[in-house]
Amino acid sequence: MKRRIDIQKEIERLDAKADCQRIVFLTAYLEFPWDVTRALELALFRTFAVPSIATVLNKTGEFTQATQRRYDDTAIIINEILINGYDSERGQAFIQRMNGIHGHYKIKNEDFLYTLSTFIFVPIYWLDRFGWRKLLKQERLALHYFWVEVGKRMGIENIPETLEAFEAWSQEYEQAMYANSEAGVQIGNATRDLLLSFYLPKFLWRAAEPVVYALMDERLLKAMNYPLPSPATRRWVQGLLKARAKILRWLPKHKSPQLTTLWRSATHPDGYAIEDIGPNSLREKLSR
């Protein structure tokens, strides 16, 4: 109980903007490591629901032909930035690597901006529903300030200045841009099956698909051409997660940051260097 209070008190003492890197680190790796990872996995599907984003992602072939690698490399980049901070030498190196990968594709600023918004709001929405406690105001603001700074280093323009303005922009973008596309369905299905493979043998994937759908809202499901789960399935899945949260409130919390269990390293079992990260077709070019 004391450790839990100490972490929250530390977060409350910090400045949401000036100390956003520290706050996000504590939130993601001490308070909610499992939840933040699940939320960021779900955020992938929200980008697939935008045809212009899905088309670019599908053209790389990575999501359908090297799904595990694409998942691992994405997780590595995100975690390296979250763990080390965007101003650290290592954080800057991975942002530069990410920018180099993105630079080989024609991506609209609005699509970059929407993707950035999912890193902020999907974790917030997830933790509001399934976290063992509610996010503190500093944590919400820190997520915004953190990813805004990353966005600036990515060269993204017209980033809304406040959390509220960014959320409103993101919601409007979804309403205007979500649509079904063949590319979105292809990469969505491949990612869905990969996530299910982390927990179940292949012969059970089809039966477990409704569990994934129960975590998605109707707008996303329609855009991805996924069936609406039954109300009973949605209640059961979300009920389990809420029950988990209630139990976690009374269990001992992590005493040290959970840094080694946040991504699967099947792609890089012996570790990785920065030049190992990225699509197969681009790694040699980026390393020159």
Please tell me the predicted confidence (pLDDT) of residue 5. 61
pLDDT (tens digit, 9 = 90+) per residue, 37-78?
999 999 999 999 999 999 999 988 777 888 899 999 999 999
pLDDT attached to residue 62: 77
Q: What is the pTM of this model?
A: 0.92
* DSSP per-residue string spanning 8-49: HHHHHHS-TTTTHHHHHHHIIIII-HHHHHHHHHHHHHHHHT
pLDDT of residue 106: 92
Given a contact cutoff of 8 angstroms between Cβ atoms, the answer to whether 97 and 286 are in contact is yes
Query: Residues 231-242: pLDDT tens digits?
Result: 999 999 999 999
Query: With bands split at pLDDT 50, 70 and 90, how would you rate the model's confidence at 268?
Result: confident
Contact at 8 Å (CB) between 101 and 278? Answer: yes
Q: How far apart are CA 61 and CA 203, in angstroms?
A: 25
pLDDT computed for residue 150 by the predictor: 98
In this predicted structure, the answer to whether residue 34 has a pLDDT above a threshold of 60 is: yes
For the stretch 177-231, pLDDT in tens is: 999 999 999 999 999 999 999 999 999 999 999 999 999 999 999 999 999 999 9
pLDDT of 281 strictly over 90: no
